Amino acid sequence: MAWVIGQQLRLYNSLGRRLEDFAPREDEVGLYSCGPTVYSYQHLGNMRPYVFADTLRRALRWKGIPVRHIVNITDVGHAVADSDTGEDKLEVAAAKERRSVEEIASFYTKDYLAAMAALNVRPADVYPRASEYVPQMIEFAKRLEELGYTYELPSGLYFDTSKSPGYGTLALLDVAGQREGARVEQIEGRRNKSDFALWRAEEPGVRRVMRWNSPWGWGAPGWHLECSVMSMSLLGSHFDIHTGGIDHRELHHVNEIAQSEAYLGDGQPWVRYWLHNEFILLDSQKIAKSAGHTLRLADLTEAGYHPMAYRLFLLGGHYRSQLDFTPHAMDAAQATLRRLVNRVSALRPLPAVATLASARELVPADDAAALGYVEQLDAAISADLATPKILAILQDSLRDTTLSEQGLRVVIGAADALLGLCLDTLDVSEVEGRRSVSDLDSSEVETIERLVAERTQARKEKDWARADEIRAELEHLGVQVTDTASGPVWELR
Ligand code: AMP
Ligand code: ZN
């Protein structure tokens, strides 16, 4: 095909569960990534979908394909436990923190965007807020109602999944075996267990904080509606790629597809490529807010790690593999980053290489070895975004004494166009080893001492599980506690 530059880009499509050649529908790729629900801080696991989508964008840019990227901000509609009838996550957070929902949304959106910037994730073209699209969501649901896909219950308007012929294909749901869907919540009158809310009506006597009037009474939209409505509104009815965490493959994206294809009714697949990242694990479990995991990027930077070390840690695993987050792995990532920056800083400035075409052009004519590395990088990114392979190629090139200095510069610049580790600008001093106690500020020392005291108390109460939990938390902050005859002492590892 005319657009193919270098190796054919192949991506693993969750729809069909296989590697497929990627071909854009039009000159510009439309990419939609399910974004954060801004009711609390994003944890370390939440960073992965966006670093992964950023890698995909870099791959497309490398191939010279323009991209329009949309990341939604969920500030309404996402109910507690992803259910259809529970309270809105934002309203719960607002009540708990005694702030308005707007303050909650704005505070956590800012924090999310700051984390993205720290991780060198390129900003999306638009970050639509769900709360700004409610009238369109109502129109969308009205259309589904006109088309006969819905039914109304006192608790809201529901999508009848038995009317959607391919329902659950993405999740490989066993439709014949009951249309279970991923969650089973008891809802009075629901026809199929997989039916989901398009509109969540207010319960009698309960007045929500975020509420809109609709043909189905006052209430709020269902969670899945926003992504269908905002993506179509900003990318057109059909677009190329939809991304998100692997949990979305089972429920959220299944429902997005069902309602969107019902709405469009043109017999075409709504979106052709569905890409999902696997989870980041902590102690062999998915990092999840619902499990009380709160570890976030700011905790790592406070403990002396550079955000690029976390990016490097993420890229060291393939996006479709689970990855264990451990202090040891972070130490290793920071050490690797330090060595890379040390080595590369002597070669600066690196040439500006964003595309394969420019890398090929910038390689000196007589440096076949450097050109070979550039082609290897292309093969690796084309093979479903093989970032661990790209890191290995970069390391190989740095050890290769047959490359010219300019050739090596181009290879590093090209690798970093795909990795986004800021190898041209990071200062060696920023990625020095961990800090010593004297670098801690008083609030950090207070936090550590509070945790150590809580652990001592837990041990006194023989609450070993809690004591272990606190020890793990301290370890994640880079603090080691040793129990001595005169009590616990702590130090930075
Ligand atoms: P949320 O803010 O809960 O809607 O989640 C934002 C994104 O993070 C979604 O795409 C989730 O699938 C993804 N996600 C949540 N937990 C993890 C994890 N432990 N590892 C990787 N991705 C995750
Ligand atoms: Zn979504």
- Tell me: pLDDT of 116 over 90: yes
Measured N-to-C along each axis, helices 387-399 and 405-419 cross at an angle, to the nearest 10 degrees, of 160
Pick the residue whose CA is nearest to atom 14 on ligand 1: 46
> How much is the average pLDDT of 233-247?
98
Report how far ligand 2's centroid is from the alpha carbon of 34 (Å).
Answer: 4
Which ligand is nearest to the Cα of residue 242, counting in written order?
2
Pick the residue whose CA is nearest to atom 18 on ligand 1: 45
CB distance 423 to 350 below 8 Å: yes
CB distance 242 to 32 below 8 Å: yes
Question: What DSSP state is assigned to residue 167?
Answer: T
Report how far ligand 1's centroid is from the alpha carbon of 252 (Å).
Answer: 12
Report how far ligand 1's centroid is from the alpha carbon of 46 (Å).
Answer: 4
Chain-centre distance for alpha carbon 148: 35
Q: Greater confidence, 429 or 119?
A: 119
State the pLDDT at residue 182.
47
- Tell me: pLDDT of 284 over 90: no
CA dist 155 and 296 (Å) reads 36
Question: What DSSP state is assigned to residue 383?
Answer: B
Report how far ligand 1's centroid is from the alpha carbon of 45 (Å).
Answer: 6
**pLDDT confidence tier of residue 434, bands split at 50, 70 and 90:** low
Query: Please, what is the end-to-end C-alpha distance for the chain in angstroms?
Result: 54
- Tell me: pLDDT of 435 over 70: no
State the pLDDT at residue 57.
98
State the pLDDT at residue 438.
60
Atom of ligand 1 nearest to the CA of 280: 20
Instruction: Specify burial of residue 168 (Cβ count, 10 A radius: 0-12, 13-18, 19+).
Output: buried
Which of 12-21, 169-178, 449-458 is least confident? Answer: 169-178
CB distance 488 to 480 below 8 Å: no
Pick the residue whose CA is nearest to atom 6 on ligand 1: 36
CB distance 407 to 364 below 8 Å: yes
Question: Which residue has 């190329």 as its token pair?
Answer: 240
CA dist 61 and 198 (Å) reads 36
Atom of ligand 1 nearest to the CA of 248: 12
> How much is the average pLDDT of 225-248?
98
CA dist 49 and 121 (Å) reads 11
CA dist 438 and 390 (Å) reads 38
Amino acid at 278: E
Amino acid at 25: R
Report how far ligand 1's centroid is from the alpha carbon of 119 (Å).
Answer: 16
CA dist 237 and 265 (Å) reads 11
> How much is the average pLDDT of 340-366?
96
> How much is the average pLDDT of 419-436?
87
- Tell me: pLDDT of 5 over 90: no
Per-position b or e across 374-411, b if 16+ CB within 10 A of its CB: bbbbbebbbbbbbbebbbebbeebbeeeebeeebbbbb
Which residues fall within 8 angstroms of residue 2, CB to CB, at 6 or more apart? none
Which of 25-29, 179-183, 464-468 is least confident? Answer: 179-183
Question: pLDDT, tens digit, for every residue of 56-100?
Answer: 999 999 999 999 999 999 998 677 777 777 778 888 888 888 888
State the pLDDT at residue 87.
79
Which of 29-38, 150-159, 461-470 is least confident? Answer: 461-470
Amino acid at 419: L
Which ligand is nearest to the Cα of residue 224, counting in written order?
2
Report how far ligand 1's centroid is from the alpha carbon of 113 (Å).
Answer: 15
State the pLDDT at residue 177.
47
State the pLDDT at residue 90.
86
Pick the residue whose CA is nearest to atom 7 on ligand 1: 46
In terms of Cα–Cα distance, which of 306, 298, 302, 303 is closest to 432?
Answer: 306
CB distance 119 to 310 below 8 Å: yes
Question: pLDDT, tens digit, for every residue of 165-201?
Answer: 889 999 887 655 444 544 556 788 899 999 999 999 9
**pLDDT confidence tier of residue 445, bands split at 50, 70 and 90:** confident
The residues with which 150 forms a beta bridge, in sequence order, are 159
State the pLDDT at residue 178.
43
CA dist 99 and 407 (Å) reads 55
Q: Are strands 479-484 and 487-492 parallel, antiparallel or unpaired?
A: antiparallel
State the pLDDT at residue 184.
59
Question: Which residue has 């989508």 as its token pair?
Answer: 53
State the pLDDT at residue 401.
96
**pLDDT confidence tier of residue 3, bands split at 50, 70 and 90:** low
CB distance 214 to 125 below 8 Å: no
CB distance 471 to 493 below 8 Å: no
**Which regions of 84-161 does DSSP assign to beta strands (E)?**
150-153, 156-159
State the pLDDT at residue 474.
83
Instruction: Specify burial of residue 7 (Cβ count, 10 A radius: 0-12, 13-18, 19+).
Output: middle
Following CA atoms 240, 33, 425, 384 in sequence, which dihedral angle do they give, to the nearest 10 degrees?
A: -50
Amino acid at 219: G
Report how far ligand 1's centroid is from the alpha carbon of 33 (Å).
Answer: 11
> How much is the average pLDDT of 93-112?
91
Q: Are strands 479-484 and 285-286 parallel, antiparallel or unpaired?
A: unpaired
> How much is the average pLDDT of 335-351?
95
Pick the residue whose CA is nearest to atom 15 on ligand 1: 46
Which residue of 34, 39, 46 sits with most ligand 1 atoms within 8 Å of its CB, as the best mutation to test the pocket? 46
Residue 91 structure tokens: 């309203």
CA dist 32 and 241 (Å) reads 6
Q: Are strands 280-282 and 285-286 parallel, antiparallel or unpaired?
A: antiparallel
Q: What is the pTM of this model?
A: 0.87
Question: Measuring from each residue's beta carbon to the nearest atom of ligand 1, which residues come in under 6 Å?
Answer: 34, 36-37, 45-46, 48-49, 244-245, 247-248, 277, 279-280, 286-288
- Tell me: pLDDT of 213 over 70: yes
Pick the residue whose CA is nearest to atom 8 on ligand 1: 46
CB distance 347 to 424 below 8 Å: no
Which of 34-38, 85-89, 446-450 is least confident? Answer: 85-89
Q: What is the mean pLDDT of the chain?
A: 92
- % of the chain residues with pLDDT over 90: 72
| Torsion over CA: 359, 361, 362, 366 (sign) | positive
CA dist 237 and 225 (Å) reads 14
**pLDDT confidence tier of residue 4, bands split at 50, 70 and 90:** low
Which of 150-164, 172-186, 285-299, 374-388 is least confident? Answer: 172-186
Report how far ligand 1's centroid is from the alpha carbon of 34 (Å).
Answer: 9
Question: What DSSP state is assigned to residue 274?
Answer: E
State the pLDDT at residue 179.
46
State the pLDDT at residue 418.
98
